[in-house]
Chains A and B, each alone.
Chain A
Amino acid sequence: DQQVKQNSPSLSVQEGRISILNCDYTNSMFDYFLWYKKYPAEGPTFLISISSIKDKNEDGRFTVFLNKSAKHLSLHIVPSQPGDSAVYFCAASPGDFNKFYFGSGTKLNVKP
């Protein structure tokens, strides 16, 4: 029943390079997609979102791309910084916001 999947449990990137985190979903009713960042012993914090009417949304160093036909979204961080080291969760909602489905997370390590 895993409707949102993050197939890479971890990613290691050199400081200054690009980090690309991927997420796949199965439910075509999903209308709204978000990325959250989580540090140990803290709650997730919102990073960036995209609705299904767009295919790209950019906010500073963070860009989310949505490919509806492939049911795939990705988060690009450029340039990556050591402070970006955290677990990143993607999430999706049918748009009524009654329920958000989260992936299992990707642990990003940005090496200085």
Chain B
Amino acid sequence: NAGVMQNPRHLVRRRGQEARLRCSPMKGHSHVYWYRQLPEEGLKFMVYLQKENIIDESGMPKERFSAEFPKEGPSILRIQQVVRGDSAAYFCASSPRVGQHTGELFFGEGSRLTVL
């Protein structure tokens, strides 16, 4: 399956713990987006990355959240000291590099974070 792979699909954390969500883009894609969907709401942009570079992080909360997309390995969204309000579905999407981008995003199935 060459689709966007996210893991874990479900993650339960207690308040104050750390959550790490991983995303492997589609084969041949070098750009990754992270979106968050709160219950009963739409998708909110968080961050846009290419390999080893953050292009746009204007949607990331200023504290506790960070994202990376290393040269090797998946993109990681890290949430430190989680709070109940972080409970949401986190979706990763990938796209080809600039010049090949058709505007279509390819989404993974999401990681559902529950903070107790």
Contact = CB atoms under 8 A, between A and B. Distances in A.
Interface of A: 6, 32, 34, 36, 41-46, 49, 51, 89, 91, 93, 97-105
Contact of B109 (A41, A91, A100): A41
A32 B41 contact: no
Interface in B75-116: 91, 93, 95, 98, 101-110
A51 B106 CA distance: 18
Nearest to B46: A99
Contacts of B59: 99
B48 interface: yes
A44 B56 CA distance: 21
Contacts of A51: 103
A104 B58 CA distance: 19
B103 A93 contact: yes
A105 B56 contact: no
14 contacts: A42-B110, A43-B93, A43-B107, A43-B110, A46-B106, A49-B104, A89-B42, A98-B56, A99-B58, A100-B105, A102-B43, A103-B42, A104-B41, A104-B42
Contact of B101 (A36, A43, A97): A97
Interface centre among B4, B42, B105, B109 (most CB of A within 10 A): B42
Contact of A44 (B48, B55, B91, B101): B91
A99 B45 contact: yes
Nearest to B107: A43
B33 interface: yes
Contacts of B48: 98-99
Contacts of B95: 97
B69 interface: no
A10 to B, nearest CB: 12
A44 B104 CA distance: 11
Given A99-B58, A104-B41, 19 more contacts: A36-B107, A41-B110, A42-B110, A43-B93, A43-B109, A44-B91, A44-B105, A44-B107, A46-B106, A49-B102, A49-B104, A51-B103, A93-B103, A98-B48, A100-B45, A102-B35, A102-B42, A102-B44, A105-B42
